[in-house]
Amino acid sequence: MNYQPVVIIGSGLAGYAVARELRKLNTEIQVIMLSADHGGFYSKPMLSNALATGKTPASILTSDAALMSSQLKITIRPFTRVNTIDQSGNSILLENGENLSYSHLVLALGADPIRLLLSGGAVEEVLSVNDLDDYRRFREALKDKKEIAILGAGLIGCEFANDLAISGYQVHVIDISAHPLGRLLPEEGGRYLQDKLAAVGIRFHLKSKIQYIERIGSRYRLIFEEGQIIEADLVLSAVGLRPRTQLAEKAGLYVNHGVVTNRYLQTENTNIFALGDCAEVEGKVLPFVMPISHAARALAATVIGTPTPVHYPPMPVFVKTPACPIVVSPPDPIVIGEWQIDANQDGVKALFQDMAGNLHGFALLGAATKEKNAITPQLPPILA
């Protein structure tokens, strides 16, 4: 009998999802969660629309670490960082010098914001929001500010832009793409979204690249490669996330775009698992909420002793832009096909079909979002 604990590194949605699923299956197994921050539970997706919904950083936190520990009957160690993983010894070395043994190790490490390579004396003052502590700093910095520049017109950039604009801020959005949500929407959908966001006051600077950021008094001057100049009171970077793989790589685990796992969420070491934003499952990195739920259930069952491969059904993503409701299910990049577009002033219905006419993805905007429930069952599973 192995009496060593299951150790979960990370206290985000992925870490807590695994802890909950383990507890559903086994009330006795010892579980230790290591958190680099306060360890409390909150929904990270709420950060990008908290202004409009009247949420404060304090109210976003659902439960602190002590309450979560009591509810789940697990040990949570806040402000605890891991230095190295000893695969052969089934143990980890903490930064405080302590060794901690495990029966199974779960990497729920999340992802880090990508930082653009910029010049200028104010580059280090550019903010990003990737967790509740970041958001608290962002809200503090927002006080008495009026004009905000956002680097990135992807999902997070557009959500923050919409939230700020409808809360009374002047918002600039800068991106190298030709339209917002360039990786998720076809051109017609991107133009429709841009028009709707522009109608609430958002100014887009597309096909543009920032080169230099400097402070001018209490404001920032952003200089484009093309020579254009804008000024803002605060600059927020939202250009994407990069899976946190450093710990796994240091341990000698296989890393590609994320920590590589099989269908059982196992790395090449069958006692070490990964899920969430840090993981690459069967070649797929899916930085959304729904895959976490499916992965956590499968992972927990495997740890308890019932090997269970993860299954990803179609999982449409809702984009929190109230000025333009959007639900999207991106096609697999390896599928060859084209978008079929039906657009009018009320919305855009875009279906991605392969050469045989099979549906592989969709983008629904405006009034077309009501068709989600009818269209989704026509999609193939993301991971069968």
Q: Any alpha helices (H) in 143-232, and if so which ranges?
A: 155-165, 187-199
User: Which CATH number applies to 6-112+242-304: 3.40.80.10, 3.40.50.1980, 3.40.50.150, 3.50.50.60?
Assistant: 3.50.50.60
* Mean pLDDT score, 337-350: 97
pLDDT of residue 175: 97
User: Which tokens in the block code for residue 295?
Assistant: 């992965």
Q: What are phi and psi of 332, to 5 degrees?
A: -60, 130
Residues 259-317: pLDDT tens digits?
999 999 999 999 999 999 999 999 999 989 999 999 999 999 999 999 999 999 999 99
Amino acid identity of residue 292, one-letter, is I
- Mean of the per-residue pLDDT values for the chain? 96
CB 339 within 8 A of CB 186: yes
pLDDT of residue 257: 96
Domains 6-112+242-304 and 115-237 share a fold: yes
- Say whether pLDDT at 76 is over 60: yes
Full-model pTM: 0.95
CATH 3.30.390.120 given to domain 325-378: yes
H/E segment holding residue 291: helix 289-304
Burial of 354 (0-12, 13-18, 19+ CB in 10 A): middle
H/E segment holding residue 347: strand 347-354
pLDDT of residue 270: 95
Residues with Cβ within 8 Å of residue 246, at least 6 apart in sequence = none
Q: Are strands 241-243 and 111-113 parallel, antiparallel or unpaired?
A: antiparallel
Residues 181-199: pLDDT tens digits?
999 999 999 999 999 999 9
Residues with Cβ within 8 Å of residue 184, at least 6 apart in sequence = 154, 155, 317, 319, 328, 330, 363
Distance from CA of residue 28 to its chain's centroid?
32
Q: What are phi and psi of 232, to 5 degrees?
A: -150, 160
* Mean pLDDT score, 230-244: 97
- Give the residue among 70, 81, 102, 100 at the shortest CA–CA distance from 10: 81
* Mean pLDDT score, 376-382: 97
Residues 119-156: pLDDT tens digits?
999 999 999 999 999 999 999 999 999 999 999 999 99
Q: For residues 13 and 19, what is the distance between their CA atoms, to the nearest angstrom?
A: 10
Burial of 28 (0-12, 13-18, 19+ CB in 10 A): exposed
Residues with Cβ within 8 Å of residue 196, at least 6 apart in sequence = 321, 323, 324, 366
pLDDT of residue 2: 56
- Say whether pLDDT at 1 is over 80: no
Work out the pLDDT band at 3, boundaries 50, 70, 90: confident
Residues 19-58: pLDDT tens digits?
999 999 999 999 999 999 999 999 999 999 999 999 999 9
At the topology level, CATH places domain 115-237 in FAD/NAD(P)-binding domain (3.50.50)
Percent of the chain exceeding pLDDT 70 equals 99
The DSSP line for 214-271 is EEETTEEEEEETTS-EEEESEEEE-S-EEE--HHHHHTT--BSSSEEE-TTSB-SSTT
214-to-157, 164, 221, 232 alpha-carbon distances in Å = 21, 23, 5, 11
- Say whether pLDDT at 103 is over 90: yes
User: Which tokens in the block code for residue 383?
Assistant: 């991971």
* Mean pLDDT score, 343-350: 96
Q: For residues 161 and 169, what is the distance between their CA atoms, to the nearest angstrom?
A: 9
- Say whether pLDDT at 165 is over 80: yes
Sorted by where each begins, the domain ranges of the chain are 6-112+242-304, 115-237, 325-378
Burial of 384 (0-12, 13-18, 19+ CB in 10 A): exposed
CB 211 within 8 A of CB 118: yes
Percent of the chain exceeding pLDDT 90 equals 98
Amino acid identity of residue 13, one-letter, is L
